Structure 1
Amino acid sequence: MTYDLERRLIISKNHIESFPPPGKKITIVFVIGGPGSGKGTQCAKIVKQFGFTHLSAGDLLREEAKYDTEQGTMIKNLMNEGKLVSSDLIVKLLFKAMRESGNDKFLVDGFPRNEENRHAYENIIHIEPEFLLFIDCSKEEMERRILNRNQGRDDDNIDTIRRRFDVFQQQTLPVIQYYEKRGELRKVDGNRQVDEVFEDVKAIFAQLNNQKNHDGEQAGGLSRAQMNPLKRWFFDFLCGCFGTKEARN
C-alpha cells in the first residue's frame, strides 16, 4: 500500500485490482505536446465531440500545489523552477481521478513526460493506452502563445518557459520514440489554427471509434439496433429459425 501522509491519498492493491470493474473496458489516450502547443484546447474539443474525460497531469498537480503542506510547497517550487514532479505521485493522482470519474474513456493530458512517468504508469495502472497523441509545435510558436495568453500563472515567465522547453525536449523524446516504435504514435502539426489542427485530431478519434465499434461487433457486443442492416437481417433470420423473438429487442 502506498501512502501520501500529507493528503491521505491512498492506493491499495485492492483499489488497483478492482479497476476497471468486471466487464468494463477502459479507453485511455495519452496527449502530449510542449508548453503552449495547444494540447489542452484540443483535449477540450475531443471531450465535447467524443465523450472523453479530460485528465490534465498539470492541472492535478497545480490543484495539489494549492495546499499549504510540505508536499504542496514542494510541487509548487518544482513547477516554478520548470522541473518535473515525482512520477509515482502523478500516477496516484491520475488513478484516483479515473476511479472517481465514473467514465470509461480518458484523455491523459501532459503525460507521460518521460520514461520514468511511463514506467510508473505501467507498474501501477495496468491498462494499455490506445495511442499517444503528440501535438507537434515549434519552439518559437509555443513561446509566442504562452507570452500572449496571460493566464496569470506563476510559471509563465520567460526564463521558466525556456527551461520547460528544454526539459520537454530532453525528457519527452524517448517517450515519443517508444510509442512510435510500437505503432502507437499519432502526430499532428500544432502550428496551425485550432480548428485546422482539430480536423486531423478528429479523424484520428473517429478512426478509434470505428475500430471500437468493429471490435464490439466481432465480440457480439452490439444490440440489434446497433447492427448494420445486413447483420441485423441475419440476426433476425437466426432468431426466427430458433424461435428466440425476445433476442430481437
Structure 2
Amino acid sequence: MTLVHDTADRAARIAAVVADIDTSAAIDNDFYRLWMGGPLPYPAVAVFAREYLARTRFTAVMVALSVLNTTDLAARVECVKNLYSEYGNGNAEKAHLVLLENFLADLLSRLGGREVSTGELTLEEPLPSTTAFSAGQRELFSSTDQRVVQGALLAQEHLAFAMLTRLYEGVRNYKPLWPREDDFHEACEYFYVHIGEAEKEHKREAVVSAAAVSRTEADFAVVLRAYDAFLTLTADYWRGVHQAVAAAG
C-alpha cells in the first residue's frame, strides 16, 4: 500500500485534477455555445428549463447522500457545510432549488407572455439522456464506497461553478425582458448566490473531502474514476439537451 503523504499534498493533487475541468466535454460543448450565442425562442428555452430543472432538483439530495455514504469525519464535515448551503443556510426561501424555480417561472412567463409555473415543466417526461444522467448520478452518490462518492462530488461541485457562469452569460441575452435593470438582477439571485460565494466554497469543500479519503494511491485512483464517470454523465446530458433545444428552436 503506497501512502499519499500529508493532507496538504493530497489536496494539491486533487486540485490539480480539477484545474482543467473547463476543457472537458462536460463544459466545452455545443449547448453552452448555443445558449450563450444569442436569445432563443420560447419553445427552445422551455426545453432547456424542463431538462435543467429535472437534472438540478436532485442536487441537494445527492449532497445529502454524500453525507450518509461518507465515513471519514473530516470529509463528512465538508459535505455537511455544502448541504447546509444548498438549503439556503437554514432559510427555506433561499434554498437553491427554490431560487431556481422562481427564476425559471419568471423567465418563461416574460418570454411567453403568460403566467408559467414550474409545475408545467414537470408535466412532460424528461429526455432519456436526462433520466440516464439522474440514474447514473444517484448510483455514484449511493455507493457504499466513500471514495466513489467523493469523486462524484468533486466533479459535481467543480462543474457547477463553470456551468453556472456560462448559464448566466446566456441568461443575459434575455435581460431586455425585464423593464428595470434592478429587477433583472434581483431575478438572477440563483446565479449570483452560486457565482459569488456558494460554489467557490463548495469547490473548496469538495477538494478537502476528496483529499481526506485519498490516503493511498489506490484510493486516489478510485476517486479519479468516479470523477471521470461523472464528467462523462454530464457531457452526455448536455449533448441530449443541445439536440432537443436546437430542434425546438
TM-score range for the pair, normalised by the shorter chain length: under 0.3
TM-score, L = length of structure 2: 0.25
In proportion to residue count, which structure has more strand? 1
TM-score, L = length of structure 1: 0.25
In proportion to residue count, which structure has more helix? 2
- Greater Rg, structure 1 or structure 2? 1
